[in-house]
Amino acid sequence: SAAAAHLHLCRTVARRAERLTVDLSTVEAVNPAAVKYLNRLSDWFFVAARICNDDGRADVLWVPGASR
């Protein structure tokens, strides 16, 4: 759904922010709770997108190594 696609986009932004925060932590002090929060935020966006798609339609599940 369009809503799930937007939630996945938010997830990618949260993941990018997490990576940038980890990179920043090599240069200056960063609160470890901030990194944990960004990680949990991206998890939440993922779950929210899955729930958003779960309105009677099947979600495409990722299977490791299936496309190889």
For the chain (68 residues), the mean pLDDT of every run of 10, in chain order, is: 92 97 96 96 94 74 75
User: Quick one: pLDDT at residue 67?
Assistant: 67
- The whole-number pLDDT of residue 64 equals 83
Q: What is the pTM of this model?
A: 0.76
Q: Would you say 35 and 22 are in contact if contact means Cβ atoms under 8 Å apart? A: yes
Task: Please report the pLDDT score of residue 52 as a whole number.
Answer: 87
pLDDT of amino acid 39 = 96
**Contact call for residues 21 and 12 (beta carbons, < 8 A):** no
What does the pLDDT read at residue 68? 59
